[in-house]
Structure 1
Amino acid sequence: MVALATIVASIAAVGVTYRILSTELTLAKGILYIASLVVYNILFHPLRKFPGPKLWAASRLPWCYYQYQGRLQHRILSLHIQYGNVVRVAPNELSYNSETAWKTIYGQRKDEMNKDPIFRLHTPTGAQNILVADRETHTRQRRLLAHAFSESALKEQEPILQMYAQKLLEKLSHLSSEQHPIDLVAWLTFASFDLIGHMSFGENFECLDTGDFAPFVKAITVMASELSFNQMCKYWGLLPLRQLFIPRALLGQRQSQMRNAMSTVGRRIQNGSDHRDFLHYILSVNDEKGMSPAEINVNAFSLSIAGSESTATALSGAFFLILAHPLVYQRLVQEVRIAHSTENKITLASTGRLVYMDAVIRETLRLYPPVAITMPRVVPSNRAGGEVICGDWVPSGTTVGVNHYSACHSPANFHQPEDFVPERWMSGNDVPQDYVSDCKEAAQPFSFGPRNCLGKNIARAEMRLLFAKLLFKYDFEMQPGQEAWMDQKIQGFWQKKPLYCKFKSSE
């Protein structure tokens, strides 16, 4: 019995030793694999000749760290300043910040550079919308949506824009007598979302009516953060396990809000609308090559976010910048009030003639672009095996893109890039000599090429109308202590802070 026990103990010891050795061997293999991958990425990878920090070339960990911190775009800008107009920001990704790169990567091409499959996250239902669609689907959907964003449609939609602009003014008039500061970001967001909700779904979110964020509007920032976390999980192959890495408050927000959007679209189609909203134009030309119900749902959902968040962001940035620069504020207010004898005279046509306002908006979009991130593409496979970008050969399969924030803030593109100088966007002799050589084409706030922002005309029109009406009717004063308002994190969208202002009637 003693001998048998000794034998059993010996076998067990051997088993334990084997498992330990096996675990150590597996761990050693893992370490060896990671080490060899790091060595390959730094010394032998096809992108090894491109400048950038070795740590970023070795692994995507630095990229993910700054993405998680909400400071990726700021860090990429510093890398461009250090290394030039092209930087290797991950083992297989190059970041650009030049005018030429915009044209090569995003311009009209026979062999389109497709969106990076990891960045191109699927919609909550899996149906393709115009933001993520493949080339064929995108072309079909853009043809259908183009009617809703045409110049003639914009004129027909002006009553909707005027209605919500007037409602914003009325709501603020009730607050002006209280002499308490208001959060201008919140009220601009209320107006933008109510307006775009009406134009997308034919339904009012009632943010202006309640003076509060509707559940859908509240969820926008959370949904953007969820997308950023999903992207990082996809890079590491951890998307099926994302619930272990993504904060619980972020999980499932997109699916939940998508269900609400589908219900809203269903009501709009069933009940019709007295206004020519986006769905009116989509449905009026929705023939056999039209959109499926699933495509209509995801496009209405996405357009309501893209069309409102970006406008609210730009207007918030514009107000901060002019209030932080009194001479600009005075000149802009003077232009608006001289051009209009009464508030009712402010129209889309009249605001389109405000030259200085246009310069202020363009400078705002440069300093504080609503879409500040990179929209990555992949160099296509072709006979040549790659593409020449900014004079350098880039092999097929490489992820490339122009970083909006870096392009707009690069000293290689703009003189004194961190200064707010609307005059740089004027024409002729009105441009100060120091800014004549600015590379204005490097700033593309609505992106570039066949996939540029379809709603840019409506966005500009909404910004001009709301901006002009507010500046005509009220005098604004930013409260002290907000000088660093633009020091914000980015997770998909800018994580905007409140902008507290006092205001009074200009009459």
Structure 2
Amino acid sequence: MPSILLSLSTSPITLVVLPLVLSVGYVLYQCFFSPLANVPGPLLAKLTRFWLVHKTLKGNLHRELVHLHSLYGSLVRIAPDEISVAEPTAFKKIYGAGNNFRKSDWYGALQGHRRFDLFAERNENIHSANRRLVSRIYSLDTIKCYEPYVDDSIRHFVGKMVEFSSTSIDMGKWLQLFAFDVIGEVTFAQRFGFMDAHEEDGIFTRINRSVASGVWLAHVPWVLRVHNFLMPAIGNWLAINDRDGTVRDYTTREVKNRLGRGSNRPDILGRVYGAGSDTTAISLRAILYFLLIHPDKKMKLIAELDAAAATGKLSDPVKFDEARGLPYLQAVMYEGMRLYPAIATTLPRVVPPEGLYIDNGTKREIFAPGGV
């Protein structure tokens, strides 16, 4: 008998047929017998997470998800064990405070070896403890304390726009230079100097490559683990590791420079270092872009600003509290960020053991089992 089994396991026919049978069985299971088999979606997505990787690498996952939801409704299967939800009532259950939907392994690839990472930390106890440490720092009252320093950067930016008013410039680039200098102003009590130099020093490219690498690896975190295990032999092939290299070194250098300068001026570094230049720049670009392609809306916004300025309700630059009293300005900002979110990827959570019933938009609920 052992000899018969051995001959079967090593015969050419077995080596061909067995993988084929297993593959067919896997496809049949995912399409017809999986707990998510009744959730519609692309065939390839039902079989492998590399559908997500492919769409992410192409940079159109966010558009693809909108398209799929328009075809299939509020629930779309985008991986063997993952569904995309476009049901407002489900958002509160999934992302609401105090829920049992823990962050998935997707976040682990973004956290890496960092111990303090409010965004990616998956342990709820650690996340809650860390959040308490910085909650006062990011409160509205605290953030408003830095408004005079943000205003300095705004004046500098406006001055640069006047300087270049007779020529064409890349506003997307300048908005990122401005956003990064604002982060330097409130974090390190000094602008990075990008607006003065009219250029960045390479850190933008490093950050963009690191983020682009991280978002596709987050869908298949095992690839990152295997790569990092082999890295002593093969070297680093993934830009995401710059978060623990070039980007970390850049931040460390700026921290040392700030501590070396000394200052009585309050800044966030005096409490904690945080970043937001990329998302700020993306939102500013989106708002400006949509205003430019909708000139009637731009003129309506200008009219609101002019009317408020004529009655002495606006400072120069406009203060935060003054801006809150301009309803059309608020609508423009929120609509710009709605149409073009700064984070255009999934933020997956894991369904708790008891599972979740979700309305699929056809008055029929679909059950998502625990672990999805």
User: Aligned pair count?
Assistant: 353
- Partner Cα separation in structure 1 for residue 192 and residue 64 of structure 2: 37
SS in 2 for 1:340: helix
Partner of 2:191: 204
Select between 219-228 and 159-168 the one with higher mean Cα deviation. Answer: 219-228
* CA 334–142 in structure 1, closer or farther in 2 if over 3 Å, else same: same
Alpha-carbon separation, structure 1, partners of 2:220 and 2:85: 24
Q: 1:344 to 1:126 in 2, by over 3 A?
A: closer
CA contact (8 A) 1:147 1:281 kept: no
Distance 1:55 1:183, change over 3 A: same
2:334 maps to what in 1? 362
Residue 308 in 1 paired to residue 288 in 2? no
Equivalent of 1:195 in 169, 182, 185: 182
Aligned to 2:22: 33
Name stretches of at least 5 consecutive residues in structure 2 with no aligned partner.
1-6, 360-364
Q: Which residue of 1 aligns with 2:323?
A: 351
- Residue 247 of structure 2 corresponds to which residue in structure 1? 257
**1:138 aligned counterpart, secondary structure:** helix
Q: Deviations over 1:391-442 (max 9, x none)?
A: 43211100xxxxxxxxxxxxxxxxxxxxxxxxxxxxxxxxxxxxxxxxxxxx
CA shift, 1:374, in A, is 1.5
What's the secondary structure of 1:100's corresponding residue?
helix
Deviations 1:82-124 (A, max 9, x none): 1110111111111111211210100123x52111113432435
Q: CA RMSD in A?
A: 2.8
Alignment match, 2:78: 89
Aligned ranges 1:370-381 → 2 under 5 Å: 370-381=342-353
**Corresponding residue for 1:121?**
109
Matches within 5 A, 1:44-443: 44-109=33-98, 111-133=99-121, 134-176=123-165, 179-234=166-221, 237=223, 239-241=225-227, 250=239, 252-255=241-244, 256-269=246-259, 271-282=261-272, 300=273, 303-304=274-275, 307-341=276-310, 344=316, 346-381=318-353, 385-390=354-359, 391-398=365-372
> Following the alignment from structure 1 to structure 2, what is the Cα–Cα distance between the partners of residues 318 and 135?
35
Matches within 5 A, 1:423-502: none
Counterpart residue number, 1:457:
none
1:217/1:201 Cα in 2 relative to 1: closer, same or farther (>3 Å)? farther
Q: 1:270-316 CA deviation, whole Å, 9 max, x = no partner?
A: 6544332223234xxxxxxxxxxxxxxxxx3xx31xx2211111111
In 2, the alpha carbon distance for the partners of 1:35 and 1:386 equals 28
C-alpha spacing 1:28/1:263, structure 2 compared with 1 (3 Å): farther
Q: Structure 1: how far apart are the matches of 2:286 and 2:112?
A: 30
Deviation at 1:165, TM superposition (A): 0.3
Equivalent residues of 1:340, 1:346 under 8 A apart? no
- The 8 Å contact of residues 192 and 312 in structure 1, kept in 2 or not, is answered as yes
* Rounded Cα–Cα distance in structure 1 between residues aligned with 2:51 and 2:112: 28
Q: Which has the higher contact order (CA 8 A, sep 6+)?
A: 1
Give the C-alpha shift of residue 33 in structure 1.
2.7
